[in-house]
């Protein structure tokens, strides 16, 4: 009897005090939402929906692309995250812009992305075209470049029309900078090439020059403007008939 | 100190059991409890009442004692101040050795107590124990139930976190609907104009002094009546309760076919109470304490408040009531419910006790139990609540994007960025307020989807003013891809004729995917 | 007095009558009995009177929070109007005017300010008009959504969907020397805020776009 009692006591003491792995031990106090600076938490709550669970395979650009990480500097990333990206659906996340994240959290996101997804020498020694467009491109030259480099996949009259990017509907939702970023960095997660491999057969060797990128960007922007001129009305019938006008 | 002679003139014996006996006698001489206690312990009860069905009342009382003990222990550390309560709970959880276990015991004890009280009530009802002469026992029991629920709610408030804060807000909003005096009642409930320090202080007084005091007194009276009126005899079909003859019949049953309460019936109570206490301890050890969730700061709006388990069903009811029914229902229904419970022993104070011959009673209890289970289950999953971070946190399933055109991809972005996901799930993630959209294309044509998005309808807001033409087109072309591979999307026959006449080169069979068709318009 | 000092352990009921056994008849004298009852009733009455006198301050104390709305409300500043960009809805905070030092974080009250254009504002309570849960503003879809029971409101505060019977509660506001002030101080509920501006069921007729 006495043995049983002392055994029970020992068990109780071991269960409750002895080991640190008690299943019921409560988790740490919940932080204020603005005090969360863990990258994984912040990313999965704020970015994963559009940019994909691990920075890839989302509908929006793949942040896990090392070339993207190398192309965009911290200040620019901070600008897009804080204030949103004009011409796209990327919303403003900073508190000062009506979002929910503090500056520290935005910085934590940037630092986390760098830590997780950037690689040294992402471009393999080749200098990519500049991230931001500085010179005004020529739309006519751009059209020619588009036909030469892009149309093999993104033909406006492509049989299945799967890869059409010249539709004003599409262009109205993707800003100039976003188009340019995809042209340069590509989207490896869905098998789309970077600027070095844009072209027939995706062969390396004839990379897009900065001027090509400028021109194609200007050409696409001009298609967007033409589309908008036709689709001033919001009726969907008009919007639909506008599609051919863009081409 | 004057020496008091022993009551029976025995000579005191030094040491051994004699000392114990002497001390006992010294106390008994002054307390004189032996008689009443012996009477209570050894009073005969009908043999049939020594049943495992009759253990819930004593278990509820045991849990009440557990709650008192653990509550007092927690009060040694807890700070009932709006500014400090939350931190003191975290100190209990993390800095006081086994403070978390005490909190868990108190929290699980509360859940067990509500559950056992409800089971006890259902059992008493089904066994007809509320009938003559035990009407008042039942009525006190109804108040004990209300006070137990009151303790559960005020206890949730003392766990002063975001759930407590917004739970109080819901309580205040309900009270504010009382005609004429609603505003004053809200002020009384909150102790001021807003949920703040005064609110926590008065809920502390309610939870620690007022309700437990009343609860203990009522519980003791309840038990007193059980002792005086006897434990309900096991109901036999056909043995009817009549005011004129019942007492005599019961006494005969107790004395002729009776056993002493202790140990005959009481050992089962003791065993069950012990088992319940052990169950509480195991739950506390394995599942841990409840909360606290985030800090009770109303400026933190990233919160999804939720009531404790036994109030989830109310949460469900409040979300499903049509707006015009709401105020009358939440103000009147509880009063009617309590009135019915109180009226039961007067409505059916005599007659049949056995559940075998009381189909309405059985039906009522099972209906209530099923409703409670269903409503609680719904309250757990809250399909009516938008998922506030689904739009930015739930990724689009990769399989929905594998063959997506650029426009469809942008449509998926619009779907997320415009918070559609907060109410509509795809791939099993997202809100359930609206229908899941995994196969929406089989239910609606392109035009129907476009119309629904623009003008809303039912519980869907109209998005026409907030989406550009391009956004709408992208969105519906994404939605149009949401259909099972083996099931083509819905297609409007008249639309088909128009499209065919317009695209002469492609005339013939309609394309399998109208989105592709739109893309290749000449 | 002697009746109360019973010997320990003795049969109380037996010894009670012992001291007065000589004149037992006097105990039954109806005059004496009625006099004792009279004194008893007088004592009860005295206690009742004192009780009533004491109850008045007790009730006054208990009902202290039951005050007119106007005694709680006062004008508080939400900051300069420049901090609310045109055509946007922003979260703003203020400290509840009737705060106690021990309120902790609970007197940080949030509200939504919509700069509708020019010098026109709308200030919405954070509390859903249904049961007071905190609604969240989504600028992308121009909707307020409630996490509790799924109430949804348009940008102008009118009801869009869900169980609320009316639009969001609004505060009265004024601009004083470049700062936006609102008349606040209570948790907005149907009993106090329904008297303020009542927004009818809307159809999302808001002119703004993000």
| Model confidence pLDDT, tens digit, residues C168-186 | 999 989 999 889 999 988 8
Min distance C132 CA to chain A CA atoms (Å): 21
Residue of C nearest to B299 (CA): C110
Final residue before a domain boundary, out of A117, A151, A175: A117
Q: Are B461 and C143 in contact (CB under 8 A)?
A: yes
Domain interval for residue A71: 33-117
Tell me the chain C residues in contact with residue A89 when contact means C-beta distances shorter than 8 Å.
140
Q: Give me the residues paired with residue C90 across strands.
A: C113
Reported as a single tens digit per residue, the pLDDT across A16-59 is 554 557 888 999 898 999 999 999 999 999 999 999 999 989 99
Reported as a single tens digit per residue, the pLDDT across B231-255 is 998 998 988 999 899 999 999 888 8
Closest by Cβ to C186, choosing from B165, B188, B193: B193
Q: Look at B184 and B497; give whichever has higher pLDDT.
A: B184
What was the pLDDT predicted at B325? Answer: 85
* Residues C189, B460: C-beta atoms closer than 8 Å: no
* Residue of C64, C68, C102 for testing the chain B interface, max B β-carbons within 10 Å: C102
Min distance A125 CA to chain B CA atoms (Å): 30
Tell me the chain B residues in contact with residue C150 when contact means C-beta distances shorter than 8 Å.
319, 384-386, 423, 433, 459
* Residues A169, B520: C-beta atoms closer than 8 Å: no
Q: Does A234 touch chain B (CB under 8 A)?
A: yes
pLDDT at residue A247 tops 60: no
What was the pLDDT predicted at B65? Answer: 97
Rounded to an integer, what distance in angstroms lies between the CA atom of residue B497 and that of residue B515?
A: 16
Q: Which among B481, B471, B453 has a CA at the least distance from the CA of B414?
A: B471
Rounded to an integer, what distance in angstroms lies between the CA atom of residue C141 and that of residue A89?
A: 11
Average pLDDT on A235-246 reads: 36
* Residues C88, A89: C-beta atoms closer than 8 Å: no
Reported as a single tens digit per residue, the pLDDT across B201-232 is 999 999 999 999 999 999 999 999 999 998 99
What was the pLDDT predicted at C207? Answer: 34
CATH of the domain at A38: 1.10.760.10
* Long-range own/partner contacts, residues B334-342 (CB < 8 A, 24 or more apart): B338/B142, B338/B146, B341/B142, B342/B139, B342/B142
CB atoms within 10 A of CB B43: 16
Q: How far is CA B77 from CA B66, B69, B71, in A?
A: 18, 14, 10
Residues with Cβ < 8 Å from C203, sequence gap 6 or more? B462, C158
Q: Is B306 left (phi over 0), alpha (psi -120 to 50) or beta?
A: beta
- Claim to verify: residue A231 and residue A162 sit in the same structural domain: yes
What was the pLDDT predicted at A5? Answer: 59
Reported as a single tens digit per residue, the pLDDT across B377-424 is 999 888 888 899 999 999 999 888 888 888 899 999 999 999 999 999
Tell me the chain C residues in contact with residue A92 when contact means C-beta distances shorter than 8 Å.
139
Give the SS3 label for residue A172. Answer: coil
Closest by Cβ to C189, choosing from B173, B188, B301: B173
Q: Within a domain: residue A99?
A: yes
Chains contacting B with at least 3 CB pairs below 8 Å? Answer: A, C
Give the SS3 label for residue B320. Answer: helix
* Class of the domain covering B390-519: mainly alpha
What was the pLDDT predicted at B517? Answer: 41
Question: Residue C119 has which token pair?
Answer: 């010098």
pLDDT at residue B522 tops 60: no
* Residue of A29, A45, A46 for testing the chain B interface, max B β-carbons within 10 Å: A29
pLDDT at residue A205 tops 70: no
> What residues does each domain of chain C span?
24-62, 74-193
Question: Residue B393 has which token pair?
Answer: 């946190």
Tell me the chain B residues in contact with residue C147 when contact means C-beta distances shorter than 8 Å.
303-305, 385-386, 388
Q: Does A89 touch chain B (CB under 8 A)?
A: yes
- Claim to verify: residue A234 and residue A163 sit in the same structural domain: yes
Rounded to an integer, what distance in angstroms lies between the CA atom of residue B288 and that of residue B277?
A: 15
Question: Residue A124 has which token pair?
Answer: 């393999």
* Residue of A40, A60, A162, A191 for testing the chain B interface, max B β-carbons within 10 Å: A162
Q: Which among B12, B22, B28, B29 has a CA at the least distance from the CA of C10?
A: B29
Q: Does A92 touch chain B (CB under 8 A)?
A: no
Rounded to an integer, what distance in angstroms lies between the CA atom of residue A230 and that of residue A232?
A: 6
H/E element, A6: helix A2-13
Final residue before a domain boundary, out of A117, A152, A182: A117
State the DSSP string of B189-254: HHTSSSSSHHHHHHHHHIIIIIHHHHHHHHHHHHHHHHHHH-PPPPP-TT--B-TTTHHHHHHHHH
Mean pLDDT, chain B, integer: 88
Q: What's the residue count for chain B?
A: 522
Rounded to an integer, what distance in angstroms lies between the CA atom of residue B503 and that of residue B341?
A: 72
Q: Does A18 touch chain B (CB under 8 A)?
A: no
Rounded to an integer, what distance in angstroms lies between the CA atom of residue B149 and that of residue B101?
A: 23
pLDDT at residue B21 tops 60: yes
Q: Is C121 left (phi over 0), alpha (psi -120 to 50) or beta?
A: beta
- Claim to verify: residue A55 and residue A150 sit in the same structural domain: no
Q: Are A227 and B457 in contact (CB under 8 A)?
A: no
> What residues does each domain of chain B span?
33-47+62-234+263-381, 390-519
Q: Look at A234 and B289; give whichever has higher pLDDT.
A: B289
pLDDT at residue C4 tops 80: no
* Residues C192, B296: C-beta atoms closer than 8 Å: no
What was the pLDDT predicted at A156? Answer: 59
Average pLDDT on C108-117 reads: 92
* Residues A239, B289: C-beta atoms closer than 8 Å: no
Rounded to an integer, what distance in angstroms lies between the CA atom of residue B389 and that of residue B412?
A: 16
Tell me the chain B residues in contact with residue C184 when contact means C-beta distances shorter than 8 Å.
none
Q: Are C113 and B302 in contact (CB under 8 A)?
A: no
Q: Are B198 and B191 in contact (CB under 8 A)?
A: yes
Give the SS3 label for residue C166. Answer: coil
Give the largest CA-CA distance in chain A: 98
* Residues B93, A26: C-beta atoms closer than 8 Å: yes
Min distance C88 CA to chain A CA atoms (Å): 8
Rounded to an integer, what distance in angstroms lies between the CA atom of residue A82 and that of residue A95?
A: 8
What was the pLDDT predicted at A163? Answer: 61
Residues with Cβ < 8 Å from B33, sequence gap 6 or more? none
Closest by Cβ to B194, choosing from C145, C187, C210: C187
| Phi, psi (rounded to 5 degrees) for A174 | -125, 115
* Residue of B176, B202, B324, B432 for testing the chain C interface, max C β-carbons within 10 Å: B176
H/E element, B258: strand B258-260
Q: What's the residue count for chain A?
A: 247
Q: Look at B273 and B519; give whichever has higher pLDDT.
A: B273
Q: Which of B111-115, B379-383, B493-497, C194-198 has the highest mean pLDDT?
A: B111-115
* Residues C90, A98: C-beta atoms closer than 8 Å: yes
Q: Are C68 and B182 in contact (CB under 8 A)?
A: no
Closest by Cβ to A174, choosing from B94, B410, B469: B410
pTM above 0.95, yes or no: no
Tell me the chain A residues in contact with residue B389 when contact means C-beta distances shorter than 8 Å.
45-46
Superfamily of domain covering C74-193: Rieske [2Fe-2S] iron-sulphur domain (2.102.10.10)
Domain count, chain A: 2
Chains contacting A with at least 3 CB pairs below 8 Å? Answer: B, C
What was the pLDDT predicted at A15? Answer: 54
Half-sphere exposure of B391 (CA within 13 A, CB side): 21
CATH code that applies to domain B33-47+62-234+263-381: 1.20.810.10
Residue of A nearest to B502 (CA): A241
DSSP E strands: which ranges in B36-161? 44-46
| Phi, psi (rounded to 5 degrees) for C78 | -105, 5
CA angle B401–B407–B409, rounded 5-degree value: 30
Mean pLDDT, chain C, integer: 80
Q: Within a domain: residue A5?
A: no
pLDDT at residue A236 tops 70: no
Q: Within a domain: residue A186?
A: yes
Average pLDDT on B492-500 reads: 74
Question: Residue B421 has which token pair?
Answer: 């996901």
Q: Does A232 touch chain B (CB under 8 A)?
A: no
- Claim to verify: residue A111 and residue A38 sit in the same structural domain: yes
Reported as a single tens digit per residue, the pLDDT across A140-163 is 888 888 888 887 777 755 455 456
H/E element, C117: strand C108-117
Tell me the chain B residues in contact with residue A234 when contact means C-beta distances shorter than 8 Å.
464, 468-469
Chains contacting C with at least 3 CB pairs below 8 Å? Answer: A, B
Q: Which among B452, B498, B442 has a CA at the least distance from the CA of B475?
A: B452
What percent of chain A has pLDDT above 90?
29
Reported as a single tens digit per residue, the pLDDT across C44-92 is 999 999 999 999 999 999 999 998 878 888 899 999 998 999 889 999 9
Q: Which among B77, B214, B83 has a CA at the least distance from the CA of B143?
A: B214
Closest by Cβ to C65, choosing from B174, B188, B321: B188
CB pairs under 8 A between B and C: 220
* Residues A30, B401: C-beta atoms closer than 8 Å: no
pLDDT band at residue B143 using 50, 70 and 90 as cut-offs: very high
CB atoms within 10 A of CB C3: 12
């Amino acid at each position: 009897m006495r043995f049983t009692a002392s055994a029970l006591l020992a068990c109780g003491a071991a269960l409750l005090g002895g080991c640190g792995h008690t299943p019921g031990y409560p988790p740490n106090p919940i932080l204020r939402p603005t005090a969360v600076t863990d990258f994984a938490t912040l990313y999965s709550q704020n970015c994963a929906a559009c940019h994909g669970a691990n920075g890839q395979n989302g509908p929006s650009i793949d942040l896990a692309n090392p070339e993207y990480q190398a192309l965009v500097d911290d200040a620019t990333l901070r600008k897009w995250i804080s204030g949103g990206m004009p011409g796209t659906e990327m919303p403003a996340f900073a508190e000062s812009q009506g979002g929910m994240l503090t500056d520290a959290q935005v910085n934590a996101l940037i630092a986390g992305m760098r830590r997780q997804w950037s690689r040294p020498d992402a471009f393999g020694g080749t200098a990519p075209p500049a991230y931001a467009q500085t010179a005004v491109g020529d739309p006519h030259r751009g059209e020619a470049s588009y036909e030469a480099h892009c149309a093999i996949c993104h033909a406006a009259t492509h049989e299945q029309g799967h890869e059409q990017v010249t539709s004003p509907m599409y262009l109205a939702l993707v800003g100039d900078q976003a188009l340019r970023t995809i042209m340069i960095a590509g989207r490896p997660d869905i098998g789309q090439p970077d600027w070095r491999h844009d072209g027939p057969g995706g062969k390396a060797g004839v990379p897009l020059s900065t001027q090509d990128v400028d021109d194609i960007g200007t050409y696409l922007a001009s298609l967007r403007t033409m589309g908008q001129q036709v689709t001033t009305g919001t009726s969907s019938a008009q919007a639909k008939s506008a599609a051919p006008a863009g081409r | 100190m004057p020496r008091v002679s022993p009551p029976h003139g025995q000579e005191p014996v030094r040491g051994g059991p004699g000392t114990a006996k002497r001390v006992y006698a010294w106390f008994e001489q002054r307390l004189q409890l032996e008689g009443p206690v012996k009477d209570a312990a050894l009073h005969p009860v009908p043999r049939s009442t020594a049943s495992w069905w009759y253990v819930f009342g004593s278990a509820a009382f045991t849990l009440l004692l557990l709650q008192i003990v653990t509550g007092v222990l927690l009060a040694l550390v807890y700070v009932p101040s709006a500014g400090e309560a939350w931190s003191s709970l975290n100190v209990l959880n993390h800095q006081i050795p086994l403070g978390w276990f005490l909190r868990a015991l108190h929290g699980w004890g509360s859940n067990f107590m509500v559950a056992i009280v409800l089971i006890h009530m259902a059992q008493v009802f089904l066994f007809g124990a509320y009938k003559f002469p035990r009407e008042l026992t039942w009525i006190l029991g109804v108040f004990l139930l209300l006070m137990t629920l009151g303790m559960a709610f005020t206890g949730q408030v003392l766990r002063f976190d975001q759930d407590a804060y917004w739970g109080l807000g819901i309580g205040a909003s309900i009270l504010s609907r009382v005609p004429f005096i609603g505003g004053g009642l809200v002020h009384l409930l909150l102790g001021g104009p807003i949920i703040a320090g005064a609110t926590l202080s008065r809920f502390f007084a309610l939870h620690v002094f007022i309700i437990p005091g009343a609860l203990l007194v009522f519980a003791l009276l309840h038990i007193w009546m059980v002792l005086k009126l006897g434990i309900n005899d096991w109901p036999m079909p056909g043995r009817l309760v009549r005011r004129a003859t019942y007492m005599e019949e019961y006494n005969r049953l107790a004395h002729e076919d009776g056993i002493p309460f202790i140990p005959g019936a009481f050992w089962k109570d003791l065993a069950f109470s012990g088992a319940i206490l052990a169950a509480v301890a195991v739950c506390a050890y394995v599942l841990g304490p409840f909360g606290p969730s985030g800090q009770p700061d109303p400026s933190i709006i990233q919160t999804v408040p939720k009531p404790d388990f036994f109030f989830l069903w109310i949460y469900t009811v409040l979300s499903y009531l049509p707006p015009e029914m709401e105020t009358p229902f939440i103000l009147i229904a509880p009063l009617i419910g309590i009135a019915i419970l109180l009226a039961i022993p007067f409505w059916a104070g005599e007659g049949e006790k056995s559940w075998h011959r009381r189909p309405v009673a059985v039906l009522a209890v099972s209906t209530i139990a099923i409703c409670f289970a269903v409503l609680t289950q719904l309250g757990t999953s809250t399909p009516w609540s938008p998922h506030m971070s689904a739009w930015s946190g739930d990724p689009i399933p990769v399989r929905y994007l594998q063959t997506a055109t650029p426009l469809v991809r942008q449509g998926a972005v619009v779907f997320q960025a415009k918070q559609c996901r907060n109410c509509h799930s795809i791939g099993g993630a997202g809100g359930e307020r609206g229908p899941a959209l995994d196969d929406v294309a089989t239910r609606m044509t392109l035009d129907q989807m476009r119309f629904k998005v623009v003008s809303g309808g039912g519980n869907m807001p109209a998005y026409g003013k907030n989406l550009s033409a391009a956004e709408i087109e992208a969105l519906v072309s994404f939605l149009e891809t949401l259909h099972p591979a083996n099931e083509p999307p819905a297609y409007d026959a008249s639309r088909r004729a128009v499209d065919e006449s317009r695209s002469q080169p492609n005339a013939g069979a309609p394309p399998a995917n109208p989105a592709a068709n739109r893309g290749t318009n000449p | 007095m002697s009746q109360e000092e019973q010997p320990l352990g003795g049969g109380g009921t037996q010894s009670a009558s012992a001291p007065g056994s000589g004149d037992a008849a006097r105990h039954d004298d109806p005059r004496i009995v009625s006099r004792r009852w009279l004194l008893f009733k007088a004592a009860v009455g005295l206690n009742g009177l004192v009780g009533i006198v004491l109850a008045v301050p007790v009730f006054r104390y208990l009902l202290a929070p039951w005050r007119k709305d106007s005694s709680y409300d006062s004008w508080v500043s939400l900051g300069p109007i420049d901090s609310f960009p045109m055509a946007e809805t922003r979260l703003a905070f203020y400290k509840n005017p009737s705060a106690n030092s021990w309120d902790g974080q609970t007197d940080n009250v949030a509200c939504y300010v919509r700069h509708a254009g020019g010098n026109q504002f709308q200030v919405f309570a954070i509390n859903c008009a249904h049961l007071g849960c905190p609604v969240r503003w989504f600028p992308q879809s121009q909707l307020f959504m409630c996490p509790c029971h799924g109430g949804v409101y348009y940008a102008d505060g009118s009801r869009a969907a869900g169980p609320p019977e009316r639009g969001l509660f609004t505060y009265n506001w004024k601009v004083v020397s470049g700062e936006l002030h609102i008349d606040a101080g209570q948790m907005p509920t149907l009993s106090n805020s329904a008297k303020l501006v009542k927004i009818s069921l809307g159809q999302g007729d808001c002119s703004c776009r993000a």
